[in-house]
Amino acid sequence: MKFPLAKLPSMIASRRTILASLASFALAQNNPAKTRNLILITQDGLRWQDVFRGADEARMPKKDHPVWKRFWRDTPRERRAALMPFLWNTVAQKGQIFGNRDLGADAYLTNGLNFSFPGYSEILTGFVDKGINSNDKIYNPNITVLEWLHQMPEFRGKVAAFAAWDAFPWILNDKRAGFLVNACFDPFPNPKQNPQLATLSKIKEESRYWGGEAFDAPVYYLAQEYLQQEKPRVLYIALGESDEWGHEDRYDLYLHSAHLTDLYARQIWDTAQAMPEYRDQTTLLMTVDHGRGDNAETWKSHGEKLPESKYVWIAAMGPDTPALGERKNTSAVTSNQLAATMAALLGKNYLASQPKAGRPIADLLAKHGA
């Protein structure tokens, strides 16, 4: 067989990416990370198009709707900053954000299904399990990076997850994992020990609109209160309103939920930076479980039949991540790289235990030893 010369440039580029990842990870092992704590925030189904271009005029309600005044601006850069000011004025300035396809910086899922359970499993385990092919509540047989970290003495009792969707106890396999997973309308355990947690838990339980999804606000504020009281080293906040409003074709509320998540990210970051246990020792990572369609009808949905819904966005900021800002004309990054990236930021080699996982995103680790 003749060697396919047309493929040579892409093969060389791929090899260079792998070698760069390996070199960066080796550097991280020899020069311990400054990151001691990790905060992961996911927002279900928030499209890369809205994150990078801002509010979409074709999806917007009539011009007399309040959403126009809140989020419409003359240019995409102004619109995206109005929608997610913390992401663009802080994270993108002090960290990095991947996923702007208009600038040649793709970020995407590798599972091919493009919906939630497989998407979260890919993010959290670092690989695709073909047996995870629905949103059915079946305990994930695979160990997530959160569970893997929790098995270590220094992280025991220091990992927690707060989620809006009721499937998260199965995604994270809470019965096996052993760390706190407070999802959907589940009451917070032993809330009497903290009156604020008790009140927030009650609000979450009583403010029901969807059957299997809590509103984001009480989920977030439970997580923030827990951060202040219990000081976990790894905190995962999984928000979900954006996907629910998207499926209901409520673009106005979809934008509102994106704006609120940005606010929550700022608040949790400011809270952490005000605490000596977290200040200058914490990395914030933000991403999504899948994208959505790209026209008036398909934007409401996602899945295997909408291959464009595989495209996502990934943002990070912290002491080990160079301030390279909005990435452009760079090698694609994938969701299956995030588990090993999270571990590497904390100075741990996830690949040694899970070689099937994607390799860490090299550029997010480049400050190790700086």
Q: What is the pLDDT along the chain (370 residues), one digit of tens a residue?
A: 333 444 444 444 445 444 444 544 544 455 577 999 999 999 999 999 999 999 999 999 888 899 999 999 999 999 999 999 999 999 999 999 999 999 999 999 999 999 999 999 999 999 999 999 999 999 999 999 999 999 999 999 999 999 999 999 999 999 999 999 999 999 988 756 788 888 998 999 999 999 999 999 999 999 999 999 999 999 999 999 999 999 999 999 999 999 999 999 999 999 999 999 999 999 999 999 999 999 989 999 999 999 999 999 999 999 999 999 999 999 999 999 999 999 999 999 999 999 999 999 999 998 754 3
pTM, entire model: 0.91
- Quick check: helix, strand or coil at residue 171? helix
User: Are the C-beta atoms of 239 and 42 separated by less than 8 Å?
Assistant: yes
- What length does the chain have? 370
The Cα 143–Cα 271 span in angstroms is: 30
> Tell me, what's the pLDDT at 193?
72
Q: Cβ atoms within 10 A of the Cβ of 268, count?
A: 21
DSSP assignment, residue 143? P
Give the span between the Cα atoms of 49 and 316, in whole angstroms: 18
